[in-house]
Amino acid sequence: MAEDLTTGGTVLPITRWGTPVMHNPTRPVTSYDDDLRALVRNMFATMRAAHGVGLAATQVGVDLAVFVYECPDADDRLHVGVVCNPEVTLPEGKDRTLESTEEGCLSLPGGYQPLARPDLATCSGADAWGEEIKINGTGLLARCLQHETDHLNGTVFGDRLSTRARRNLYQHHESLVHLYPDDWPITPKRSSADG
């Protein structure tokens, strides 16, 4: 049984959109070592502190192709794991069904906007020990697998929105960003009552 990497990590500040690491493709994972597993522990700690369902290494300022997730599927079953060097395969033709739902990003806190994505996604890659894995995602998990893999390719979900929707997204974020300290989630989100 592989060791549990979902505990024992340190919460890190979440990197915001506009930082170069968020907008460039990442380096592939080539060393499945203790440093990688320490990063994964820190990513789980950070994702949980921020109440997220997925987190890419770029979101803690590391340009490495790895993400973690703790996310329910369409049947509300919780899936937890880590994927290195992910590749997402999406249905095509008549098998492809788009689902438009609100999407947000921990690196643009407070901003949400509807985005249509396929409701099924298969993600293949390696775990934190270099063993091959494949995850079949439905519902929110399918969206999460696509969103996190996008991050590792230098794409933020705002890049997939129309100009108008992107403007709305940024306005939404700007109206709430004051609630998120610069080192969030190390320093918790402020309640709106705090001013």
Query: What is the domain extent for residue 37?
Result: 20-177
Q: What is the C-alpha radius of gyration for the chain, rounded to an integer number of angstroms?
A: 16
Looking at the domain assignment, is residue 69 inside a domain?
yes
What are the pLDDT digits (tens) for 22-67?
Answer: 999 999 999 999 999 999 999 999 999 999 999 999 999 999 999 9
Looking at the domain assignment, is residue 87 inside a domain?
yes
Q: Which amino acid is at 24?
A: N
Counting the structural domains of the chain, the total is: 1
Looking at the domain assignment, is residue 154 inside a domain?
yes
What is the H or E stretch that residue 84 is in?
A: strand 78-89
Looking at the domain assignment, is residue 15 inside a domain?
no
Q: What is the CATH number of the domain that holds 104?
A: 3.90.45.10
pLDDT at 1: 46
Residues designated as active site: 148
Looking at the domain assignment, is residue 11 inside a domain?
no
What are the pLDDT digits (tens) for 116-151?
Answer: 999 999 999 999 999 999 999 999 999 999 999 999
State how far the Cα of 111 lies from the Cα of 54, in Å rounded to an integer: 16
Burial of 59: CB neighbours in 10 Å, binned 0-12, 13-18, 19+? buried
Looking at the domain assignment, is residue 192 inside a domain?
no
Write the DSSP symbol of residue 74. Answer: T
* Mean pLDDT (whole number) for 164-174: 96
Q: Answer for the pair 14, 51: CB distance below 8 angstroms, yes or no.
A: no
Looking at the domain assignment, is residue 189 inside a domain?
no
Residue 195: pLDDT over 70? no
Looking at the domain assignment, is residue 9 inside a domain?
no
pTM for the model stands at 0.95
